[in-house]
Amino acid sequence: MADRTTATPAGAVWTKTCLTLKRELGDATFGSWLGHAALRERSEHEVCLVAATGVARDWIRRHAWRRIGELWAQNDPEGRALDLKSRMEFDGAAPAEPVIAEVTLPATQTPSAPVLTLHEAPAARAVRTHGLQERFTFDTFVPGPANEFAFAVARRVGCWADGHFNPVVFHGPYGFGKTHLLNALGWEALRTAPDKKVVYLTAERFTQTFVKAVQDRQTAAFKDELRDADLLLIDDVHFVAGKASTQEELFHTLIALVQDGRRVVMTADRPPHELSDLEPRLRSHLQAGLVCGIEPADRDLRQGILERKLDMLARQGGFPAQARPEVLQFLADRFSDSVRELEGALNTLVARVGPQLAQLSLDEAQAILRPHLSAPERKVTVDHIQKAVAEHFGLTQADLLSERRARAVARPRQAAMWIAKQITTRSLPDIGRRFGGRDHTTVLHAVRRIEALKAEDPSLARDLDLLLRKLRG
């Protein structure tokens, strides 16, 4: 066995393993099941691959575990044993173990190497008895026009301000800050009123705990534990869609808490009225509260997020929190789809150059990040998008700019607006002006509508994928 000071880091072994896995599995499959896995150390000779969810763990075990074992053995000269668990299993069994590496590979990126984030688990891991994540606080949240209403509501809930809206539902696509806000208001609630009971659960954990309670004939204890909460936080409530018994229990828990004057806050990837698979009574009660949307971050907000993230990384690494303005501007413009992608890109630069970040030129930053982009950067205009969409759907560019509302024209127009929001840096008002003088609310509706439809309509999802590939070269 090599000396620990010269041993190959487990994170580096996992990075090499991911390179091959991504090529073999493909972008979408890797991103869905392994993109958010974390590598954690149990002992000097054993590490654990922690899947984001139990569902992801089961898929990995069935479809990729044997291959992962082969690649791990090939790449690890230290011969460390590799285990597999879900995040809930691992946190329950060994809450104090350090995180070695987390690999974030959003579906919209196709890097030749994973974005590697190194950090140590906090010593005070015991405070996670509430289920909250320490790094998600109001101090680390960057407010802006895209999230200011949701941020204000979260602050009011967190300080136990009287309010007539219960439950509160934050919604928005993946990576827009919903989980951050939910955790932040939980921490604020505990700080403001330490005697209050705050319970945080993901919808997946709610489901798993409820199922186990039924199996163990402990449903009464399960109900008492939740219904005794002064503040119940449920993350990703859309996860319970299609699970009849879980929805029934969540519905009755919601009603019991609200009627007793206790607070309930949930997050979802869509507004409640679009959660068509939810039981109608549950969906109706979610709509009856306060629904707060979190919109895509504009450029100023993305710049603010980068500055806050850079300051945190610099303090951790002991180097100046400085970077050339053109480098930060490039990141803010190029990684506009998700805050996680944006932070992942900055993590990559810091991991590569560390204290030399302040001297990193734009060309050098682009060279480092180029393998992590889905395609070579290409200037795509709204005009290019309109022409490509019109051709794909058998229309003319004039049709997309017209007032025609027939579905055969309206849907491609919405798709073109959605694409313009994804791959250009144009603001919503600017996109609207370029589509026949429409206002920004029309564009925002189109973006939301396409986001919802592409998850339900495989044909539309394929059309969008083809168009994005074509436009990106």
Question: What Rg, from alpha-carbon coordinates, does the chain have?
Answer: 23
**Axis-axis angle for helices 325-334, 299-317 (nearest 10):** 120
Largest CA distance in the chain: 72
- CA–CA separation, 234 and 168 (whole Å): 10
- CA–CA separation, 406 and 95 (whole Å): 56
What number is the average pLDDT over the span 98-108? 36
Q: For residue 456, what are the contacts with CB-CB under 8 A and spacing of at least 6?
A: none
pLDDT(416) > 90: yes
- CA–CA separation, 363 and 440 (whole Å): 34
What number is the average pLDDT over the span 99-106? 36
pLDDT number for residue 342: 82
pLDDT number for residue 182: 93
Most confident of 94-98, 302-306, 334-338: 302-306
Distances (CA, A) of 333 to 50, 119, 126, 326: 32, 26, 39, 10
pLDDT(373) > 90: no
What number is the average pLDDT over the span 10-28? 83
What number is the average pLDDT over the span 116-144? 56
Instruction: Output the DSSP codes for 209-250.
Output: HHHHHHHTT-HHHHHHHHHT-SEEEEE-GGGGTT-HHHHHHH
pLDDT(114) > 80: no
Return mean pLDDT, the chain.
80
What number is the average pLDDT over the span 194-219? 87
pLDDT number for residue 419: 93
Are 349 and 369 in contact by the 8 Å Cβ rule? The answer is yes
Kindly state the percentage of the chain with pLDDT values over 90.
Answer: 15
pLDDT number for residue 146: 77
Q: How many CA atoms lie within 13 A of 7 on its CB side?
A: 15
pLDDT(4) > 50: no
- Nearest CA-CA partner of 174 in 50, 419, 339: 339
pLDDT(265) > 90: yes
Distances (CA, A) of 346 to 314, 326, 349: 11, 13, 5
Strand partners, 235: 202
- CA–CA separation, 120 and 87 (whole Å): 16
The model's pLDDT over 54-91, given as tens digits with 9 standing for 90+, comes to 767 878 888 889 889 889 988 888 888 899 988 777 77
Strand partners, 101: 39
Are 362 and 348 in contact by the 8 Å Cβ rule? The answer is no
pLDDT number for residue 185: 92
pLDDT(28) > 50: yes
CA 459 distance to own-chain centroid: 24
What number is the average pLDDT over the span 308-334? 82
Question: Six-digit token pair at 293?
Answer: 């949307």
Q: For residue 146, what are the contacts with CB-CB under 8 A and spacing of at least 6?
A: 176, 294, 295, 296, 297, 298, 301
pLDDT(125) > 70: no
pLDDT number for residue 90: 78
The angle subtended at Cα 420 by Cα 332 and Cα 340, nearest 5°, is 35
Cβ burial of 397 (10 Å; 0-12, 13-18, 19+) is middle
Q: Whats the size of the chain, residue-wise?
A: 473
Least-confidence region, from 217-231, 321-335, 396-410: 321-335
Question: Six-digit token pair at 181?
Answer: 């806000």
What number is the average pLDDT over the span 284-303? 83
pLDDT(126) > 70: no
pTM exceeding the 0.75 threshold for the entire prediction: no
